[in-house]
Amino acid sequence: MIDKIILEKTIEKLTSKGCEFAEIYFESKSTLGLVLDNKKIERITRGSRMGAGLRVIYNGRTYFAFTEDLSEKALFKIANDLANKETGNNILKESNYTLDEGLSDYWYSQNIDKGTLKEKANLLLHLNNLAWKDKGSLTQLTLSYGDVNQDIFIMNSNGVYIQDTRPRTKAIIQGVFQKNNKIQSAYDVVGALGDYSYIKTRDMDKLLTGVKVKGENLLKAKEAPSGTMPVVVSGEAGGTMVHEACGHGLEADIVKRGMSVYGNKIGQKVASELITVVDDGTIKGRYGSSFFDDEGTKTRENILIEDGMLKGYMSDLQSAKELNIKPSGNGRRESYQSLPITRMTNTYIRKGKESKENIISSVSNGLFVKHMGGGQVNTATGDFVFEVSEGYMIRNGKIGEQVRGATLIGNGPEVLNEIDMVGNDFGYSLGTCGKDGQGAPVADGQPTLRIPNLVVGGTN
């Protein structure tokens, strides 16, 4: 796709003035998107983006440029311009580059099935028909399907020369429900590192039914209460909380700038001993997986917090160097137009021993979070919020009436320390995580957890 000799010559030019590191990242990405809205297939979009991002580093100072012009002339000009930003006295080892090809081991399925446009259009039409057949309070339905095939090549002055292919597929169902002047919306999503074969094995009809039930129930739900109370977050709720409460704070680029509450705490107790937090980019089919990261480092399982002790951070090449730790395979970027930064892949809290039923029955009056939505964190203060997309009151140890419209707010280290029951169940959610203006596909998971006290921000 891009000639090895051109890559080698580009690196040669980038390093010609004595930088400490040079890299070329080449990316070719094709996308397909279908949107069915208002009972019609409204949008079909096909696209292709191809370009290269080049960087050099002199004494920790990074110079970066990208281009869609992949001619030898254009690449060499950019490489020379970047090299000339400074001069250094680093002498880099000559590398014998051999291509290390990323394997498809972590794809959902090795049986390639890209699916036809007809199949994908028919899937949306089928779901649309099914949704309106017994419509209930449904007033609007948006179905989207998207797949991406990303091909990357990376060569750097450390001798790395890799290729990796990442197919990613996602389908979203969103419904609007209306009854007696009340309006609610419900949503669900499935997605994977993998091609259309993933969607084929999903029970999409069930996903749709789930969204419809959620919407109907929300119309009946009461407003959530306000105040501090015990909260049980279900194992099927997704992993937004771990992502926000500690994930971002364990990213080495944030740590190195002194902007994390978890900075300088390796070896210290930062959470309840029931808590083990892992980030693992190698989980088969998970939305945040890939064989290599976007700097050519092999992805791996990284234990971040073990039995409450802080074990390590996630890192990209540059932040690992500055913190003097081993790169963890978490250097990711949105595209060739962006510099790599430290990102999560698939992040989760490990299962514990309690049964979900025991955890629920231990609470006399509190909130049960069945599904979480989005969230946000301020890594410097540790304050984080996450949305309850489906919640119920717990009354005398039993799940009670459904409530809507609640956001929970807490402080990461405080909440992790206070968690006093960890379930033996487990569930994942997926999403696109935003940081420094770049989006990255991620997955998050956790077992059922009990937090003795958390601020619930309801509307009542």
Partner 1 sequence: MKNLTDAIDYGLSKGCKDVELYVEKSEELNVEIRLGEIDKYQESKSQGIGIRVIVGDRQSLVYGTSDKIVDLQKGINEAIEIIEFMDEDEIVLNGNEQFQRTIESTNILDTTFEDKVKYIIKQEEDGISKKADKALVESTIYDENKYSKLIINSRGLMKKESGSYCGSSISLAINKEGVNETGYSYYYTRDFNELLKQDLGKEAYAKAYEMIGAGMVSTQKYLTLFTPDVVVDLMRLLAYSFNGENIYKGKSLFKDKLGEKVISDKLNIVDNGLEIGALGFSHFDGDGINIRENRIIDKGIFSGGLYNLSIAQKLGLKTTGNASRSYGSLPSIGYHNLYIENGNTKIAEMVKEMNNGIIIKELMGLHMANPITGEFSLGASGLKVINGKISSGFRGVTISGNILEILSNVLAIGDDFQRRTSVGAPSLLIQDVIVSGS
Binding to partner 1 (CB under 8 A) within 201-240 occurs at 224, 226-228
Rank residues 67 and 282 by Cβ distance to partner 1 and give the closer one: 67
For residue 136, state whether it binds partner 1 (rule: CB under 8 A): no
For residue 406, state whether it binds partner 1 (rule: CB under 8 A): yes
Region from 274-282, 284-292, 305-313, 381-389 binding partner 1, contact rule CB under 8 A: 381-389
User: What is the rounded CA–CA span in Å between residue 440 and residue 345?
Assistant: 8
Rank residues 281 and 382 by Cβ distance to partner 1 and give the closer one: 382
- CA terminus-to-terminus distance, the chain: 59
Which structure tokens are listed for 319? 């932040």
Region from 16-24, 104-112, 200-208, 377-385 binding partner 1, contact rule CB under 8 A: 377-385
User: What is the rounded CA–CA span in Å between residue 378 and residue 26?
Assistant: 33
Q: What backbone torsions phi and psi does residue 245 show, to the nearest 5 degrees?
A: -65, -35
329-368 residues near partner 1, rule: CB under 8 A:
337, 339
93-122 residues near partner 1, rule: CB under 8 A:
117-118, 121
For residue 140, state whether it binds partner 1 (rule: CB under 8 A): yes
- 437 vs 116, 121, 341, CA distance in Å? 33, 32, 11
233-272 residues near partner 1, rule: CB under 8 A:
257-259, 261
For residue 383, state whether it binds partner 1 (rule: CB under 8 A): yes
Closest distance of CB 83 from partner 1, Å: 13
Rank residues 257 and 284 by Cβ distance to partner 1 and give the closer one: 257
User: What is the rounded CA–CA span in Å between residue 48 and residue 169?
Assistant: 16
Q: Directed axis angle between helix 4-14 and helix 72-83, to 10°? A: 20
307-326 residues near partner 1, rule: CB under 8 A:
none
Give the three-class secondary structure for 188: strand
Rank residues 240 and 302 by Cβ distance to partner 1 and give the closer one: 240
Region from 49-57, 147-155, 197-205, 307-315 binding partner 1, contact rule CB under 8 A: 49-57
Rank residues 236 and 244 by Cβ distance to partner 1 and give the closer one: 244
- Residues facing 169 on adjacent strands: 147, 192
Q: Which of 308, 304, 341 is nearest to 433 (CA)?
A: 341
Helix locations, 226-369, DSSP H: 240-242, 252-256, 317-323, 356-361
User: What is the rounded CA–CA span in Å between residue 378 and residue 382?
Assistant: 6
- Total residues contacting partner 1 by CB under 8 A comes to 72
Closest distance of CB 140 from partner 1, Å: 6
Q: Which of 319, 318, 163, 160 is nearest to 254 (CA)?
A: 319
For residue 387, state whether it binds partner 1 (rule: CB under 8 A): yes
Closest distance of CB 267 from partner 1, Å: 18
Rank residues 38 and 364 by Cβ distance to partner 1 and give the closer one: 38
- Residues facing 386 on adjacent strands: 375, 408
Q: Tell which one of 88, 146, 285, 373 touches partner 1 (CB under 8 A).
A: 373
Rank residues 175 and 445 by Cβ distance to partner 1 and give the closer one: 175
Rank residues 43 and 395 by Cβ distance to partner 1 and give the closer one: 43
Counted residue by residue, the chain has a size of 460
Neighbours of 166 (CB within 10 A): 22
User: What is the rounded CA–CA span in Å between residue 332 and residue 53?
Assistant: 13
Rank residues 335 and 358 by Cβ distance to partner 1 and give the closer one: 335
- 21 vs 12, 42, 95, 251, CA distance in Å? 11, 47, 13, 21
Closest distance of CB 89 from partner 1, Å: 18
For residue 418, state whether it binds partner 1 (rule: CB under 8 A): no
Q: Tell which one of 9, 20, 41, 358 touches partner 1 (CB under 8 A).
A: 41
User: What is the rounded CA–CA span in Å between residue 434 and residue 39?
Assistant: 31
For residue 189, state whether it binds partner 1 (rule: CB under 8 A): no
4-33 residues near partner 1, rule: CB under 8 A:
none
Which structure tokens are listed for 248? 């971002």
User: What is the rounded CA–CA span in Å between residue 221 and residue 392?
Assistant: 9
56-75 residues near partner 1, rule: CB under 8 A:
60-69
Region from 36-44, 268-276, 279-287, 347-355 binding partner 1, contact rule CB under 8 A: 36-44
Cβ-based burial of 228 (10 A; exposed 0-12, middle 13-18, buried ≥19): exposed
Rank residues 422 and 454 by Cβ distance to partner 1 and give the closer one: 454
Region from 181-189, 264-272, 319-327, 350-358 binding partner 1, contact rule CB under 8 A: 181-189
Specify the amino acid at residue 92: L
